[in-house]
Amino acid sequence: MCIAIPGKITSILNENTATVDIGGIKRKVNLDLIGGADSSLIGKHALVHVGYAISLISDEESEEILKLLRDVMDLS
């Protein structure tokens, strides 16, 4: 099973890479799978898996996924 974590695109580094804030941790993420990096993506949320943004999602979806992940971690 694979898991993707939601993050917020905070800056564009080059034509295919952006900085994404994932729970307060900033990572370089490749955006090729969602069409490449563009300044219009700043502030948008994406699902990130192994360093690649695999899908854009809404702010609401991002919050819901983070809530579910926190709930699962509390069960451990």
Structure tokens at 24: 């307060």
Average pLDDT, integer, range 14-27: 96
Return mean pLDDT, the chain.
Answer: 94
Q: What percent of the chain has pLDDT over 90?
A: 84
Structure tokens at 25: 């941790």
pLDDT score for 1: 67
What are the structural domains, with CATH classification, of the chain? 5-75 (2.30.30.140)
Which among 73, 76, 31, 21 is positioned nearest to 52, based on CA atoms? 31
